[in-house]
Amino acid sequence: MSGFERRARWRLVALAVALLALWWIASAGGAAPEEQSLMGRVQAAQKFLAAWRAENGTASQADVDPWGCGLIGVEWSHTTTTLGRLEAKRTACNPAWAGQFLRWYREAGLQAGDRVAVYSSASFPGLLLSAWLAAEAAGLEPLVVVSLGASTWGANHPELPWPAIEAALEQNGYLGGRADFYSLGGGGEAGGGLLPEAVAGLRAAARSRGVPLLEADSLAGMVEAKSGLLRSNDVRLLVTIGGPHSSLGDDPEALRFPPGLVFPEQARNAGNGVVAAALEAGLPVLHLLNIEGLARRVGIPFDAAPGSGLPPRVHPAWALVGLALFLGALFTHRRWRLV
């Protein structure tokens, strides 16, 4: 082997070591300490709920809630609005979502003291809890509106609508407050499609919690009511979870609206609901639907046992450093010469 070949081999070894070290530096730690702390808080709240439900006889069966999150409902009840996938509801309970919410809040430019609106269906109580606790952990002021009707496997247990779950969490120190408003959910968010006794039960649950119901005589009226709350509360980010009827409205094109964090300049197919009104007013929207696709995009396993946390978030600058190292090594070889 010639001296040049030996030098070339050592340069390649040095490049491999440098790139490996760069990868380790860029990805070490995974979730940040504040993300890990928050995920631990969410997990503690879930363990409490699971034990509380076991005590009062409303626990889910082990094959339905194998990881004991305490936030899985039933397949059908009188407060069920639509069909939903059990796998998506279980995935939504992964505490890693709380850390991901922190990342989204930072990406949206939110600072402590900013107001974030969380407009959620009771269909995804796991995501609702994570979004709410992440807002509290970030020092944000959450404006929470929950649509009480839920799809299958959401907060649709006949004895445990969302207000009962929320009350248990607040009274035992896992939530810092209560929702600002509820709506009935269902068609028009006015209980459409629900039996009268279901609507009466949801109204009673809201009264027992002391949370006012947002009501309107039409879907457009509900869209305006929720949009008005954004304006009057100086909201900096709208989070929509699940499919409350007012979020995207009744425009079929809204089915193509992408999940995830969407800024006004990126808006397409936003429908004719609150999401469109927020984007038109210059607010970013964090839209959580199509949980399987969104989970795979952010690196949260779909329908799998919660792991140790979130995947590392690697800054694009590290990729540029790695590329520069590669190109630097490349041009030390004789066959590569600029002409």
Instruction: Find out whether 244 and 119 touch, Cβ atoms under 8 Å.
Output: yes
The CA distance from 203 to 220, in Å, is 21
Q: Which of 72, 70, 67, 71 is nearest to 54 (CA)?
A: 70
Residue 166 amino acid letter: E
pLDDT in tens, the chain (339 residues): 565 556 556 565 665 665 565 444 444 445 699 999 999 999 999 999 999 999 999 999 999 999 999 999 999 999 999 999 999 999 999 999 999 999 999 999 999 999 999 999 999 999 999 999 999 999 999 999 999 999 999 999 999 999 999 999 999 999 999 999 999 999 999 999 999 999 999 999 999 999 999 999 999 999 999 999 999 999 999 999 998 899 999 988 888 899 999 999 988 888 899 999 999 999 999 999 999 999 999 999 999 998 755 655 544 554 566 566 555 655 565 555 555
pLDDT of residue 28: 44
Rg for the chain, CA atoms, rounded: 24
Per-residue pLDDT reduced to its tens digit, 49-103: 999 999 999 999 999 999 999 999 999 999 999 999 999 999 999 999 999 999 9
Q: Would you say 143 and 116 are in contact if contact means Cβ atoms under 8 Å apart?
A: yes
Per-residue tokens: 266: 């990126």
Which H or E run includes 56?
A: helix 33-56
235 beta partners:
115
- The token pair at 77 is 């009840």
Report residue 295 CA to chain centroid gap.
9
Q: How deeply is 70 buried, as exposed, middle or buried, from its count of CB atoms within 10 A (0-12, 13-18, 19+)?
A: buried
Please give the C-alpha separations between residue 266 and each of 87, 229, 270, 294, in angstroms, as whole numbers: 30, 23, 10, 17
Structure tokens at 38: 């928050």
CB atoms within 10 A of CB 309: 18
Specify the 3-state DSSP secondary structure of 187: strand
Return d(Cα 138, Cα 141) in angstroms, integer: 9
Would you say 114 and 140 are in contact if contact means Cβ atoms under 8 Å apart?
Answer: yes
**Token pair recorded at residue 229:** 């709350």
Burial class (CB in 10 A: 0-12, 13-18, 19+), 20: exposed
Q: What's the pLDDT at 315?
A: 47
Contacts 24+ apart (CB under 8 A), 258-265: 258/287, 259/287, 259/288, 259/289, 259/290, 259/293, 259/294, 260/286, 260/287, 260/294, 260/297, 261/104, 261/107, 261/108, 261/285, 261/286, 262/286, 262/287
At residue 233, the 3 state secondary structure works out as coil
| Nearest residue to 313 (alpha-carbon basis) of 295, 299, 293, 296 | 299
Length of the chain: 339
Check if the beta carbon of residue 140 is closer than 8 Å to that of residue 112.
yes
d(CA 224, CA 242): 19
C-beta separation of 102 from 137 below 8 A? yes
CA diameter of the chain = 88
Half-sphere exposure in the Cβ direction for 87 (13 Å, CA): 9
Tokens (6 digits) for 271: 């429908």
Q: In the numeric block, which tokens belong to residue 287?
A: 């839209």
* Consecutive H or E run containing 300: none
Give the integer Cα–Cα distance in Å for 264 and 253.
17
